[in-house]
Amino acid sequence: MNLWQRFKRLSLWNKVGVLGGFCSILGFLGWLLLRSPQSSVEVNLTAVNSPNTTQIITEKVTIELSPQLKPKLTVAPVYVNRLENDRYVTLLHCKLEALYPIPRLRAEAYSPTVEEIELCPLGAAVYVSGPTGKDEGRVFTTLQNATGNLKLKVITRESSKLHINFSVQ
């Protein structure tokens, strides 16, 4: 007895079960073979310093991280190059809209005088951050399972132009 003959002898619900199992296997194989590669995006934030004020040139930046599932990262500056304890602090609020948590969202800040970077959920939340690091003119950090509203804080020694890069790993 071949497979087609055995299939024809099944009841209606058993046939539905066989077709559902076959479709599940095809879907899983398609997911394994057709996954998208890693995505990377860049955000440029420019600020112009005037006496007693900082003018923000980039009000709001929207970036799409992956073309297939379309998570979207929206970045809005709260303040740029604010003097706090002889250091300049830039605070950005980010909103990550995705159907799933991003496993590792990496943020890098480039500036000649950059010292620290912090990426964490906005508000009270438990989160895992790291690895972090610092090179000459660059700091980076990674937020594990990133989703929702986020806070990015960058600290520099001098008021300078920042280049911020987000990537999904």
Q: Whose CA is closest to 162, among 69, 85, 74, 58? A: 58
pLDDT digits (tens, 9 = 90+) for 50-101: 565 555 555 556 555 545 556 788 888 888 888 888 899 988 898 888 888 8
40-168: which CATH topology?
Immunoglobulin-like (2.60.40)
Look at residue 40 and tell me whether its pLDDT is greater than 60.
no
Report the mean per-residue pLDDT for the chain. 80
pLDDT, residue 54, reads 54
pLDDT, residue 105, reads 87
Burial of 132 (0-12, 13-18, 19+ CB in 10 A): middle
Q: How confident is the model at residue 24 (pLDDT cuts 50, 70, 90)?
A: very high
Question: pTM of the full predicted structure?
Answer: 0.58
Residue type, 125: A
Decide: 71 and 99 in contact? Cβ < 8 Å.
Answer: yes
Burial 85-115 (b: 16+ CB within 10 A, else e): eeebbbebebebebeeebebbbbbbbbeebe
pLDDT digits (tens, 9 = 90+) for 96-127: 888 888 888 888 989 888 988 898 888 777 77
Residue type, 127: Y
**Looking at residues 7-14, what average pLDDT do you find?**
90
- The ranges of the chain annotated as CATH 2.60.40 are 40-168
Look at residue 20 and tell me whether its pLDDT is greater than 60.
yes
List, in order, residues 6 or more apart from 3 with CB less than 8 Å away: none
Look at residue 19 and tell me whether its pLDDT is greater than 80.
yes
